[in-house]
């Protein structure tokens, strides 16, 4: 038996030989990563530079885009290396670091979507009191409440993994994840499993409860209000709902796949769906918000035109 900190490497067995298509796969993944970095950095820069965007909704979006960069940077460089590798091994410390990044990214994303729904709830249900309720201090407090709990929860997750005694080193995934490492243990994993369920409930169901509550109130106000108020609510809530559904669907599949046997699905499909929540939201969200929110769209055009003129 060996401790996870004493284990020198893990083998990722879900990779398969792409043969002559190795270079094409590498370039496709690299292009996707470049698009993610460019689109998220562009919107981060636009929000930081343009003072008219220093409002609660856009500051929450700034937090969202920073998290997209954080999560995708914990995955894409790693996958690019693995595509070119023949052994598909990863050192134990790097594997643990990736688990921390991937899981904290997921928690931060859910919490961020929850505070964004709360912001829309205040804006639509209490429009005259919006600026009194959503002060800068409160916004900063909410953003801190998005990041710190998710990071703290996953620090505990990591400490529980490190204490495990492992009897194997083969992970049937294309990246490291908590449950796959726990399944390699030959020691008692009761605490890991119980804490995993509690952490999942905290980082998924608590934010979803906030989102369901706020949107229940929003829809009630919209249906009882004027046509103009309904159109305004739809315009501001549509991107958020699309982001929520996109991320929740991918995260739900990953949670289900980690806990239950999904071998009936083709391996390529399992790989795609397990990567969905880490790859699609980071490219989908900047495009969605960039196209749907006129202030961001106009600010992007202005910034690009200024850079071209120089």
Distance CA 208, CA 192 (A): 23
Q: Which pTM value belongs to this model?
A: 0.90
Q: What is the CATH number of the domain that holds 58?
A: 1.20.1070.10
Q: Kindly indicate the confidence band of residue 1, based on its pLDDT and cuts at 50, 70 and 90.
A: very low
Residue 98: give the domain boundaries.
2-309
12 and 88 in contact (C-beta within 8 Å)?
Answer: yes
Ranking 90-104, 170-184, 283-297 by mean pLDDT, the lowest is 283-297
Six-digit token pair at 244? 């929520």
Residue, of 263 and 42, whose pLDDT is higher: 42
Residue, of 307 and 264, whose pLDDT is higher: 264
How many domains in the chain?
1
Q: What are phi and psi of 71, to 5 degrees?
A: -65, -45
Distance CA 207, CA 210 (A): 5
Query: Which tens digits make up the pLDDT trace of 32-85?
Result: 999 999 999 999 998 998 888 899 999 999 999 999 999 999 999 999 999 888
120 and 218 in contact (C-beta within 8 Å)?
Answer: yes
């Amino acid at each position: 038996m060996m401790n996870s900190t004493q284990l020198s490497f893990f083998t990722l067995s879900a990779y398969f030989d792409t043969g002559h298509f190795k270079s094409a796969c590498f370039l496709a993944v690299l292009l996707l990563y470049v698009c993610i970095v460019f689109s998220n950095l562009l919107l981060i820069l636009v929000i930081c530079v343009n003072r008219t965007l220093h409002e609660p909704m856009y500051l929450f979006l700034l937090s969202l885009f920073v998290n997209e960069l954080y999560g995708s940077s914990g995955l894409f460089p790693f996958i690019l290396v693995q595509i070119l590798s023949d052994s598909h091994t990863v050192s134990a410390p790097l594997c643990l670091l990736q688990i921390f990044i991937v899981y904290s990214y997921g928690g931060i994303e859910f919490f961020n979507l929850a505070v964004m729904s709360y912001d829309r709830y205040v804006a639509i249900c209490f429009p005259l009191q919006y600026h009194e309720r959503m002060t800068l201090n409160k916004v900063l407090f909410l953003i801190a409440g998005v990041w710190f709990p998710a990071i703290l929860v996953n620090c505990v997750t990591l400490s529980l993994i490190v204490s495990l005694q492992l009897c194997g080193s083969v992970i049937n995934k294309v990246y490291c994840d908590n449950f796959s490492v726990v399944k390699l243990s030959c020691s008692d994993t009761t605490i890991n499993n119980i804490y995993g369920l509690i952490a999942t409930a905290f980082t998924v169901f608590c934010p979803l409860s906030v989102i369901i509550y706020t949107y229940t109130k929003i829809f009630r106000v919209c249906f009882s209000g004027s046509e103009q108020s309904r159109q305004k609510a739809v315009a501001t809530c549509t991107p958020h709902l699309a982001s929520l559904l996109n991320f929740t669907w991918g995260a739900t599949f990953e949670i289900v796949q980690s806990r239950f046997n999904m071998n009936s699905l083709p391996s390529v499909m399992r790989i795609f769906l397990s990567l969905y929540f880490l790859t699609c939201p980071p490219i989908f969200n900047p495009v969605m918000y960039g196209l749907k929110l006129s202030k961001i769209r106009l600010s992007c055009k202005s910034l690009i035109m200024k850079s071209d003129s120089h």
